[in-house]
Structure 1
Amino acid sequence: MANTSLLPRRQSLVPFICFCVMIFTLPSSQGGNVLITTSLGEGSHYFVGKTIGKYLVKHGHNVTMLVSKAYAHRAENPDDAELNFIVFHQSAEQIESVKERHLSYSKNALEPSGAAYLYKLIQAHRKGAADDCDELLGQNPDVMRRLEEGNFDVVVYDMIWLCSLLLAMKLNVPAVLSSPMAAPTMLSMYAGNPVNLASTPDVMNGYNNKMTFFQRVNNVLANRVLYSVLEYHHVPYNSIRERHQIRPDLSGSISNLVGTYTDLFLVNLDFAVEFPLPLNPNIITMGGITARPASPLPNDLEAFMQSSGDGGVILFTLGSYVTHIKPEFLEPFAEVFQRYPQQKILWQLAGEPKFKLPPNVKTMPWLPQNDILGHPKTRLFIFHGGNNGFYETVYHGVPAIIIPLTGDAIDQGVRLKHHGFGIVLDKTNVTVDILRVAIDTILNNDSYSEAAKLLSSRLRSRSMHPGDRAAFWINHVIKHGGSYMRSPLIELNFIQRNLLDVIAFFLAVISVILVISCYCMKCTFRCCKRMCFTTKEKHD
């Protein structure tokens, strides 16, 4: 017979055992407080920051997103309930300015790419972004008090708004830079990463890593122009820093401080598709951070996908920044989609179109892009070339047509063409015939789909998801700091960094040796001549 007198004692141990199991199975990392301010609350830069935040929460950290009042609705999104939000106040005039600046991407989307386009875009944002910063630091006492009482261990910021770096300095906490763009040359300038412009194309150049002589010349010039434009963009933050007395003990301009104050650089690239280049230990790749296994679609969207039959679905979007564009640019798409009744088309389009849509087209103001790309019915992705969309289509192995519109989109087009899983079209020459040829080529040629699947397999073959990698390294900075990983190159000036002083020294040494050699040869020649003349006189 069982000893029933022991049952109550055993039962009383059950809660204690469960408590012990819970304690010992908690994540080993102690949760930190992380402030993320990767943009004012809109666009791909915000979505990358939010994704980093969700992975940090998964790893046991407390995450707070700082957003502008212009995008206060972000704090009410039930999908982001695990994140905390601080909304900083802005005047009605400044809120309108924020939204107008966001629309400037749409207004300038069809402008020719290049240095002039970049300058025009930065000019549209420069003063407004600085005013946002001034308003945050000087006219939001309650928000600043909450930030100071937040006991943050680290600030994750974005180059798009360097006020975030000033905020990290004001709170006296480490800073981690998040870059949604690949842009290796741009980051290298600030992180002190050695980069060879002979084989590493600069951002927005449209070159691959095998450049001709004149392309290399242009690459070097473009790199200097880009640096100058960014320096111009950063100038107002130096005045703001001085006005608000932020860390006067630290020397250097705000551009210098990007390298000397930042502990870690998170960059949205992966060498499964990027051109090879060396990286410092404090530059961590997180290519494809927004890409993940597809989640089930809403019922109405799933029904639409299934209704496509064997023809499948073509997904078309111009991204989160280009939400309004002139109808003349979009009309050829509506016309060409009409010629593919066997396919269904999902089109992300804000507002009502000013032209007639064919019956096989479904428009929505927002689409779960990653989940649609991961659906077995998706056959082709036509998009503007954003880096997040690029990595999502690679992750899911879907061939693509890129029409580079803004920023670094032209660079994604180069990689798409280089790896052979899609076609690049010129935004200044998008016609029905050109679209038809491009779509037919991809749908009727299996090589594009096979190349996409090969890249997908390569990208997925990694030890951890880039979100987990980003969270791991941010946690590392919280625990151990990251200054020990900084490159010593950031302490050197242009002459020292490029060894121009050493080259000058060698040239000087060689020049001295040549001068001495010439002098010795001249003396030897004179001696020989004198000896010959003396001998001749004696002979005579």
Structure 2
Amino acid sequence: MDFIFIASCVILTLTFPVHCGKILVFPHEGSHWVNMNILIQELHSRGHQITVIRALDSWFISETSPHYVSMTVPFLLGGDDEFYSSFVSRQLQIRRQQQSAWTRFKLDMELKEKFSEMHRKICEMVIYIIEKDPELLEQIKQASFDLMLTDPANGGGVVLAHYLNLPLVFNVRWTVHGEAHFAIAPSPLSYVPFPLSQLTDNMTFLQRTYNVLFYTIRLFLYKRIVGPHYSALCDRYFGPDLHYFELFQAADIWLMRVDFVFEFPRPTMPNAIYVGGFQCKPAKELPRDLEDFVQSSGEHGVIIMSLGTLVVGQLPLDIADDIAAAFAQLPQKVIWRYTGERPSTLGNNTLLVKWLPQNDLLGHVKTKVFVSHGGTNGIFEAIYHGVPIVGLPLVFDQDDNLSKMRHRGVAKVVDIATIDRHIFKDALQEVLTEPSYRKNMQKLSSLHRDAPLNPLDSAVFWIEFVMRHRGAAHLRTDSYKMPWYSYHSVDVLVFLVSIVSLTVYIVFKVIRCLCCRLCAKRKRAKQD
């Protein structure tokens, strides 16, 4: 029977043709790579050949991997996690000390300068590949890749794909101009809140006004930061008639790392494929020592705390002491990812670890609450496993992410600038004892999981679809090629208003002329 079963599997495998493609990946550093690497591993497991372009000083992307071959560009991007860790620490300090708006503005401008420098370096890296390393460029051309997979948080892969004439697939939530939907889909600001605004889809007049102003200012800043660099790069290779952002909008498939249990409903496009939470998976068994610690919690269960890679050792000691003191007063056991100085108030119920299997812990039956900074990956894992959140947002999109979770009744958000042991303990106890938090999160989990196709399978399907058909132009609108006045039908409106105005004017003139003639006849009749 075993022989028959194996033979049947071989026959079935041979019956259905499998197209194993060659995929060129131009990734983005940091937590973005964590998502991309999961996608790469799945593509590799299905037989595809993956090649990853990385800089010589890449701080997240390993040069060697069993899942991909790397092409290391002998170019220094100069980016590392030290700046961002320092930025988070200084941001915390400013918020806690309630320093002036000018101080906050200067720190914000420093971050924008850092982003501008990052994009400038990425453009220089693309120039290096095309002009200064002919062997590498020839190696890329000779490989005959089927598509480019990239994260549009930077534009290096976008420009290189256009130069190499490769179909383009995005692993995306953010582009160089902000949230991805705003690049390709109609986004009425009357009910589509601009990300980072912390608004909902049900806005008052003043909130809608704020949304419009916030969108306008943010888009202006995005363009100021990236525009000069990518415009110069596109002018260099494609001429001045091609705007750099048109290359982004021309992507074949947008694998959106969002889900509408998390986002508010909004218009979308046929080439936007929703794969939010594709990194989530059923929990695996914990290491024995960790499982023993979890089981020792008894009926009270455990609390998991992780504030992400950039903050794991950046908390000021007095905040860490307050957090540890709050944990020590609870009957639950606590597993806290933390590498800073050991808090003096640490209780016997709290285990400090340098790293933790977050997905597996969140999927454990004894996990009651997840204390999180609000990163997208952690939020989706909490949704997938139905674990309510106590949020401590710090920077970037974390406030907005947790604001959405609070709106859905699954998270209690605490301002880390004003936190103390009493505030933090009260927040934990509220989420632990109020059943609605867990009930609402389990409802979101049920909605998220109830899909016709696993998000990771969906992502891989559409990547393979683009390889099979050499693109997906039939799903992509060309509206991005229209000037703004045509896109918004301003020219049509002006034309129609002109026709109506001309008609009214002609009618008015005719009536006036008739009236004048009638008056003239009456005058002549009186004179006679």
Shorter-normalised TM-score: what interval? 0.7 to 0.9
SS at match of 1:25: helix
SS at match of 1:429: coil
1:224 paired residue number: 216
The equivalent position to 1:86 in structure 2, one of 59, 71, 91, is 71
2:121 paired residue number: 131
Gaps of 5+ in 2: 96-100
- The alpha-carbon deviation at position 85 of structure 1 amounts to 3.3
Residues 369 and 137 of structure 1, relative CA distance in 2, 3 Å threshold: farther
The equivalent position to 2:478 in structure 1, one of 474, 481, 488, is 488
Distance in structure 1 (CA, Å) of the matches to 2:511 and 2:255:
60
Aligned counterparts, 1:389-538, within 5 A:
389-480=378-469, 481-523=471-513, 526=516
Cα pair 2:119 2:229 within 8 Å, conserved: no
Aligned counterparts, 1:118-267, within 5 A:
120-135=110-125, 137-138=127-128, 143-180=136-173, 186-191=179-184, 193-234=185-226, 235-242=228-235, 245=237, 248=238, 251-260=241-250, 262-267=251-256
**How many pairs were matched up?**
511
Cα pair 1:108 1:121 within 8 Å, conserved: no
The one-character-per-residue Cα deviations of 1:303-335 (angstroms, maximum 9, x if unpaired) are 221122111111111123434534144343222
1:11 paired residue number: none
Distance in structure 1 (CA, Å) of the matches to 2:10 and 2:483:
53
Q: Percent identity?
A: 27
Residues 506 and 277 of structure 1, relative CA distance in 2, 3 Å threshold: same
Distance in structure 1 (CA, Å) of the matches to 2:240 and 2:453:
37
Distance in structure 1 (CA, Å) of the matches to 2:512 and 2:425:
77
Aligned counterparts, 1:20-419, within 5 A:
21-22=9-10, 24-25=12-13, 28-40=17-29, 42-43=30-31, 45-71=32-58, 74-75=61-62, 81-91=66-76, 94-95=77-78, 97-103=79-85, 106-107=88-89, 109-110=91-92, 120-135=110-125, 137-138=127-128, 143-180=136-173, 186-191=179-184, 193-234=185-226, 235-242=228-235, 245=237, 248=238, 251-260=241-250, 262-327=251-316, 328-340=318-330, 342-353=331-342, 355-419=344-408
- The alpha-carbon deviation at position 236 of structure 1 amounts to 1.3
Distance in structure 2 (CA, Å) of the matches to 1:425 and 1:479:
48
- The alpha-carbon deviation at position 73 of structure 1 amounts to 7.2
SS at match of 1:350: coil
Letter in 2 for 1:68: A
Letter in 1 for 2:73: F
- The alpha-carbon deviation at position 399 of structure 1 amounts to 0.7
Residues 397 and 153 of structure 1, relative CA distance in 2, 3 Å threshold: same
Cα pair 1:318 1:383 within 8 Å, conserved: yes
- The alpha-carbon deviation at position 217 of structure 1 amounts to 1.7
Range 361-370 or range 283-292, more displaced = 361-370
SS at match of 1:75: coil
Residues 307 and 406 of structure 1, relative CA distance in 2, 3 Å threshold: same
Cα pair 2:162 2:247 within 8 Å, conserved: no
Residues 528 and 76 of structure 1, relative CA distance in 2, 3 Å threshold: closer
Range 387-396 or range 149-158, more displaced = 149-158
Cα pair 2:388 2:410 within 8 Å, conserved: yes
Letter in 1 for 2:255: L
Range 142-151 or range 105-114, more displaced = 105-114
SS at match of 1:423: strand
Range 53-62 or range 525-534, more displaced = 525-534
The one-character-per-residue Cα deviations of 1:135-170 (angstroms, maximum 9, x if unpaired) are 465266665454344332111111222112223234
Range 352-361 or range 342-351, more displaced = 352-361
Distance in structure 2 (CA, Å) of the matches to 1:509 and 1:351:
71
Residues 240 and 124 of structure 1, relative CA distance in 2, 3 Å threshold: same
Distance in structure 1 (CA, Å) of the matches to 2:321 and 2:483:
52
- The alpha-carbon deviation at position 517 of structure 1 amounts to 4.2
- The alpha-carbon deviation at position 21 of structure 1 amounts to 4.6
Residues 121 and 353 of structure 1, relative CA distance in 2, 3 Å threshold: farther
Cα pair 1:67 1:88 within 8 Å, conserved: yes
2:98 paired residue number: none
SS at match of 2:440: helix
TM-score, normalised to structure 2, is: 0.87
Cα pair 2:26 2:156 within 8 Å, conserved: no
Residues 164 and 321 of structure 1, relative CA distance in 2, 3 Å threshold: farther
The structure whose RCO (Cα within 8 Å, separation 6+) is larger is 1
